[in-house]
Chain A
Amino acid sequence: QKEVEQDPGPLSVPEGAIVSLNCTYSNSAFQYFMWYRQYSRKGPELLMYTYSSGNKEDGRFTAQVDKSSKYISLFIRDSQPSDSATYLCAMRNTGFQKLVFGTGTRLLVSP
């Protein structure tokens, strides 16, 4: 079993929809949780960074962490065609710098 599980998709939605992307993990020591967006043939870019449980909002993006369920989510409101990309979750322990990545979910937002 992988340490971080993420549905590869693709997830296809119409423009304006609310998108929910999710990851589950098995290591209860993970404390820092991140979401990256990766466009085709580009490097990932950091979207959201959260510590421990709770919600964090940035514009149209909301990151949610439920440590009791070992489950993290990224919500995208009013999705746009420019949001079409692969979204990677990543997480790590306290004081341990190596990130563990999910395999990524490919999102397609149609006009």
Chain B
Amino acid sequence: DGGITQSPKYLFRKEGQNVTLSCEQNLNHDAMYWYRQDPGQGLRLIYYSQIVNDFQKGDIAEGYSVSREKKESFPLTVTSAQKNPTAFYLCASNPGNYGYTFGSGTRLTVV
């Protein structure tokens, strides 16, 4: 079945540590996105990529980094510069002229 796979489902980060969230899609979609979801704030765009080897900052990119070396993969690194990383992270893809398909999310907690 086609879809988006995010891993891990739960992730714990210590202070000062970088962590990487995985996002893989087999939908052959060009565009991919990372969102952060916090209670009462809806979805906020972190980074997006419309083509391999190219990506743009979203509304809240500080403290995050991404890469897009393959069409299928769009990993997100939460760096130690992100001061409040505890949140639910969602990856999505888009075929170009339709709504997004979302993954099942990764819940990141700082311990």
Chain A 42-56: CB-based contact to B (< 8 A → 1; otherwise 0): 111110010000000
Within 8 A of B (CB), among A7-46: 8, 34, 36, 41-46
| A104 proximity list for chain B (CB < 8 A) | 42
A79–chain B nearest beta-carbon distance, Å: 23
A11 vs chain B, min Cβ distance (A): 16
On chain B, the residues within 8 Å of A110 by CB distance are none
Chain A interface size, as a band, is 20 to 34
B50 interface residue (CB < 8 Å to A): yes
User: Which of B4, B42, B50, B101 lies in contact with A101, CB distance below 8 A?
Assistant: B42
Q: Main secondary structure on chain A at its contact with chain B?
A: loop
Residues on B with C-beta less than 8 A from A88 are: 42-43
Interface on chain B toward A: helix, strand, loop, or mixed SS?
strand
Q: Contact at A103–B42, with CB atoms within 8 Å?
A: yes
User: Which of A8, A42, A90, A98 interacts with B99 by CB under 8 Å?
Assistant: A90
B42 with A46: CB separation less than 8 A: no
B21 on interface, CB distance cutoff 8 Å = no
> Which of A41, A98, A103 lies in contact with B45, CB distance below 8 A?
A98
Taking CB atoms and an 8 Å cut-off, the chain B residues in 52-111 that contact chain A are 58, 88, 90, 92, 94, 96, 98-105, 107
Q: Given that A46-B100, A49-B98, A97-B96 are contacting pairs, would A103 and B41 also be in contact in the complex, using a CB cutoff of 8 Å?
A: yes
**Contact present for A97 and B50 (CB under 8 Å):** yes
Contacts of B34 in A (CB 8 A): none
Please measure, in the bound complex, the distance between the C-alpha atom of A90 and the C-alpha atom of B101, giving whole angstroms. 13
Q: Is the CB of A46 within 8 A of B90?
A: no
With beta carbons under 8 angstroms apart, the residue of A36, A43, A49, A99 that contacts B103 is A43
User: Chain B's nearest CB lies how many Å from the CB of A89?
Assistant: 10
A45 contacts B102, C-beta separation under 8 Å: yes
A and B contact pairs by CB, cutoff 8 A, 13 listed: A8-B40, A41-B107, A42-B105, A43-B102, A43-B103, A44-B43, A49-B99, A90-B99, A97-B31, A97-B94, A98-B45, A101-B42, A103-B40
